[in-house]
Amino acid sequence: MSSEDLSILVIDQDQLRASILEDGFREAGYQRVSVLKDIDMIMKRIVEIDPDVIFIDLENPNRDVLEHMFQVSRTVQRPVAMFVDQSDTAMIEAAIDAGVSTYIVDGLKKERIKSILDTTISRFNAVNRLREELEQTKNELAERKLIDRAKGILMQARNLSEEDAYKLLRKTAMDQNRKVARVAESLVLTAGLLKD
Amino acid sequence: MPDQRPQKPQQTPITAGFMPLLDAALLIVAHEKGFCESRGIALKLVRETSWATLRDRMTVGHFDVAHMLAPMPIAAALGSGPMYAPMIVPMALGLGGNAVTVSNALFHEMCDYGAVDSGDAKLNGLALAKALAGRAAAGRKKSTIGIVHRFSSHNFELRYWLQASGIVPDRDIDLTVVPPPFMADALAAGHIDGFCVGEPWNSVAVERGVGNIVTTKSSIWRSSPDKVLAVGQQWAEQNRQALAALMQALVEAAIWCGNGANIEQLASILSAPGYLDQPAAILRRGLSGEMPFRRGGPIQKVPDFLIYDGRAATFPWVSHALWYYTQMVRWKLFTHSNKAIAAARQCYRPDIYRAALAGSGIAIPSVSMKVEGALSEPTIVSDGEFRLTLGPDGFFDGQKFDPDLIEDYIFAHK
């Protein structure tokens, strides 16, 4: 059996991430990749899939269920959480940092899964970064809106030009050692209070 | 609006993982009430969704300490499968706190065999045994009971109760693991017939009208252990002072949580979206021990349902660790050996508890083991500077566990 014949199972509630990971494995030449979104009927599926390696996202509450099944089942080979020995500590840490937990069938040589673990970690990290960027973009948009509203309030209340209103916000932020967006937020909130 | 002020420079950061359960209260309150901050500890709390992830993140050092099922550090010390970083238990996070709930259908069958409203472990255990026998005689498939983890207090107390009631766990029922937030759903959908879980998840099922509480941990074994503070052994050795400061803050939190006058505020703190994310009124039931056992049913007053403070509720009794050990052997999770006993024993660290909390104004037991189940009523065990009262701590079947006669106990259960 060549490395590419390894049977891989991905359990991830995040469908986008799961399909990105699946693509990664296929690109690398792995043919036997299965993806499960939830764990309904999982034992039956695991028997059918007979995976050598299982990846499950760390935030999945069903990890405890999965581990219990491995421990009590006699119908599947017993995959174990990948904390096998001290030599792969760095690898395991990288996986946990990325948010994925790995189970491998007892006795499977570590070298055989190194490349798929690498793929998993890098894809998980890539998706995490994407999510963070998306979150950041959302925040930046929200901040820009806040600053615009604060400028509008100042322009009206102090009869300032847009440029002067922004300068005043920026100066206040620098004096108070705060971000412009936070000063704008305070102003918008306070203005809201005064209105009522 | 987020606080932009910088942290005081002398604050030592400690990261703690927890699961959304009532007995995470000590960590949450120590943070929320400023008990950590005043001792120079910047406590960062991270909510988790599974015990497996809590354990893994302890292992790789994401968490310095964690709210953990008491048997988990012991199982890790005994070598439960793969290699995990060793953990120690320098204190407990309270006593009691969970219950057994069954489906409406199973409860009705139990009522035909004398089930009572009060949650009496003996009577309801017998009723359950007869109801299950009735199901077997009718050719129905085995009933399934949900637990939260193989190495949980729930698993061991449930098995203890079932076996002593005449039900052989591995023969007469199936035990399966279900994450606590899914218990009520699983019961409603008929995937399971009952479960043993910490509060508020029994009351959540009761409130939804899908389950009936039939007994409580306090009825099976009064004043019994459940969750502990697990600490990475290496971290503990390198941060002894910070650990002591954290433990002092947790004890202050225990005293605050144990004060009945604070129940409303405690329920409100815990109900926040970042913590338990459940209505305060539901949390209040477990906190006060005044809870309906079925929707619309009478309020049952459960003595010692959950104990945060007093009666050495935070002391890491080595006899508790050894009782868990006997149960792991009893249910064939580990083979009995002197080496294994020593590993279980060394996991619990009353020496750290004493060193950290001497002079903190609480009563500290002078011994580290006691005969479990020996006290039928509250008993003053020391009357020095701080009076210490222990018990009642009886098992529902009247048995006692003497940690000095551990092999007799194991043998008696064979």
Backbone angles phi, psi at B76, to 5 degrees: -65, -40
Q: How many residue pairs from chains A and B have C-beta atoms closer than 8 A? A: 76
- Digit-coded pLDDT (tens) for A119-158: 888 888 988 888 888 888 888 899 999 999 999 999 999 9
User: Looking at beta carbons, which residues of chain B come within 8 Å of A93?
Assistant: 60-61
| Mean confidence (pLDDT) of chain B | 93
Same domain? For B200 and B230 the reply is no
Q: Kind of pairing, strands B98-103 and B194-198?
A: antiparallel
Same domain? For B64 and B105 the reply is no
**B308 part of a folded domain:** no
Sheet holding B194-198, edge to edge: B173-177, B143-147, B194-198, B98-103, B211-216
> Which residue of B lies nearest to A185 if distances are taken between CA atoms?
B1
> Which residue of B lies nearest to A41 if distances are taken between CA atoms?
B191
- Taking any CB pair shorter than 8 Å as contact, residues of chain B touching chain A are 1, 4, 49-53, 56-57, 59-62, 81-84, 148-150, 176-179, 181-182
The Cα of B179 is separated from the nearest Cα of chain A by a number of Å equal to: 6
Q: What is the pLDDT of residue A149?
A: 93
Class of domain A133-195: mainly alpha
Same domain? For B375 and B238 the reply is no
User: Looking at beta carbons, which residues of chain B come within 8 Å of A185?
Assistant: 1
Same domain? For B268 and B193 the reply is no
**Given an 8 Å threshold on Cβ–Cβ distance, is A80 in contact with B82?**
yes
- The beta-carbon neighbor of B50 closest among A60, A92, A93 is A60
**Given an 8 Å threshold on Cβ–Cβ distance, is B52 in contact with A93?**
no
Same domain? For B120 and B192 the reply is yes
Same domain? For B122 and B184 the reply is yes
> Which residue of A lies nearest to B148 if distances are taken between CA atoms?
A64
Q: Is the dihedral of CA A171, A172, A178, A181 positive or negative?
A: negative
Inform me whether the pLDDT recorded for B245 exceeds 80: yes
Task: Look at residues B244, B357, B302, B252 and name the one whose alpha carbon lies nearest to residue B117.
Answer: B302
**B7 part of a folded domain:** no
Task: Look at residues A41, A36, A43 and name the one whose alpha carbon lies nearest to residue A19.
Answer: A36
**Given an 8 Å threshold on Cβ–Cβ distance, is B56 in contact with A185?**
no
B65 by Cβ neighbours in 10 Å (0-12 / 13-18 / 19+) ranks as buried
Task: Look at residues A185, A193, A192 and name the one whose alpha carbon lies nearest to residue A169.
Answer: A185
Task: Look at residues B253, B228, B238 and name the one whose alpha carbon lies nearest to residue B318.
Answer: B228
The answer to whether the beta carbons of residues B196 and B222 sit under 8 Å apart is: no
Task: Look at residues B125, B100, B130 and name the one whose alpha carbon lies nearest to residue B112.
Answer: B130
The Cα of B273 is separated from the nearest Cα of chain A by a number of Å equal to: 17
Same domain? For B106 and B74 the reply is no
Q: Please state at what angle helix B51-59 crosses helix A63-72, rounded to 10 degrees.
A: 90
Q: How far is A102 from B231, CA to CA, in rounded Å? A: 24
Range(s) of the domain holding residue B59: 12-93+225-278+314-355
Find the mean pLDDT for residues B238-250.
Answer: 97
**B157 part of a folded domain:** yes
**B5 part of a folded domain:** no
Grade residue B280 by pLDDT with cuts at 50, 70 and 90.
very high
Query: Using alpha carbons only, how large is chain B's radius of gyration in Å?
Result: 21
Find the mean pLDDT for residues B316-339.
Answer: 95
- Digit-coded pLDDT (tens) for A65-104: 888 888 777 666 666 766 645 556 788 888 888 898 888 8
Backbone angles phi, psi at A31, to 5 degrees: -95, -30
**Given an 8 Å threshold on Cβ–Cβ distance, is A62 in contact with B50?**
yes
Q: What is the pLDDT of residue B9?
A: 52
Same domain? For B85 and B230 the reply is yes
Which SS3 state, helix, strand or coil, does residue A161 take?
coil
Structural domains in chain B (count): 3
Give the whole-number percent of chain A exceeding pLDDT 90. Answer: 26
Which CA distances in Å does B371 have to B147, B286, B318, B393, B401? 27, 27, 11, 10, 6
Task: Look at residues A29, A51, A59, A35 and name the one whose alpha carbon lies nearest to residue A103.
Answer: A51
Grade residue A2 by pLDDT with cuts at 50, 70 and 90.
low
CATH classification of the domain holding B153: 3.40.190.10
| Residue B366 or B165, more confident | B165
Same domain? For B237 and B121 the reply is no
Inform me whether the pLDDT recorded for B4 exceeds 80: no
Find the mean pLDDT for residues B154-173.
Answer: 96
**Given an 8 Å threshold on Cβ–Cβ distance, is B51 in contact with A64?**
yes
β-partners of residue B225 are B95
**Given an 8 Å threshold on Cβ–Cβ distance, is A101 in contact with B52?**
yes
Q: How far is A12 from A5, CA to CA, in rounded Å? A: 22
The Cα of A40 is separated from the nearest Cα of chain B by a number of Å equal to: 11
The Cα of B25 is separated from the nearest Cα of chain A by a number of Å equal to: 21
The answer to whether the beta carbons of residues B79 and B171 sit under 8 Å apart is: no
User: Looking at beta carbons, which residues of chain B come within 8 Å of A67?
Assistant: 52, 150, 177
Inform me whether the pLDDT recorded for B13 exceeds 70: yes
Give the residue extent of every domain in chain A. 3-132, 133-195
Q: How far is A123 from A98, CA to CA, in rounded Å? A: 9
**B166 part of a folded domain:** yes
Burial B178-192 (b: 16+ CB within 10 A, else e): bbbbbbbebbbeeeb
**Given an 8 Å threshold on Cβ–Cβ distance, is A68 in contact with B81?**
no
The Cα of B352 is separated from the nearest Cα of chain A by a number of Å equal to: 28
**B49 part of a folded domain:** yes
Q: What is the pLDDT of residue B82?
A: 62
For residue B9, whether the previous peptide bond is cis, meaning omega lies within 30 degrees of 0, is no
Burial B315-341 (b: 16+ CB within 10 A, else e): bbbbbbbbbbbbbbbbbebbebeeebb
Same domain? For B381 and B405 the reply is yes
Q: What is the pLDDT of residue B1?
A: 46
**B309 part of a folded domain:** no
Q: Kind of pairing, strands B65-69 and B12-18?
A: parallel
The Cα of B62 is separated from the nearest Cα of chain A by a number of Å equal to: 9
Q: How far is B161 from B101, CA to CA, in rounded Å? A: 13
- Digit-coded pLDDT (tens) for B88-147: 999 999 999 999 999 999 999 999 999 999 999 999 999 999 999 999 999 999 999 999
User: Looking at beta carbons, which residues of chain A come within 8 Å of B51?
Assistant: 64
Class of domain A3-132: alpha beta
Q: What single string gives the DSSP state of each residue in A37-98?
A: SS-TTHHHHHHHH--SEEEEETT-TTHHHHHHHHHH-SSS--EEES---GGGHHHHHHHHHH
**Given an 8 Å threshold on Cβ–Cβ distance, is A189 in contact with B176?**
no
User: Looking at beta carbons, which residues of chain A come within 8 Å of B57?
Assistant: 58, 96
Q: How far is B104 from A154, CA to CA, in rounded Å? A: 63
Find the mean pLDDT for residues B375-402.
Answer: 87
**Given an 8 Å threshold on Cβ–Cβ distance, is B50 in contact with A189?**
no
Q: Is the dihedral of CA B241, B245, B250, B254 positive or negative?
A: positive
User: Looking at beta carbons, which residues of chain A come within 8 Å of B181?
Assistant: 61
Q: A64 in contact with B at a CB cutoff of 8 Å?
A: yes
**Given an 8 Å threshold on Cβ–Cβ distance, is B50 in contact with A85?**
no
β-partners of residue A8 are A33, A53
Which SS3 state, helix, strand or coil, does residue B67 take?
strand
- The beta-carbon neighbor of B181 closest among A61, A67, A68 is A61
Q: Among the listed ranges A99-113, B92-106, B145-159, B233-247, which one has the minimum average pLDDT value?
A: A99-113
**B171 part of a folded domain:** yes
Complex ipTM over 0.90: no
Same domain? For B204 and B333 the reply is no
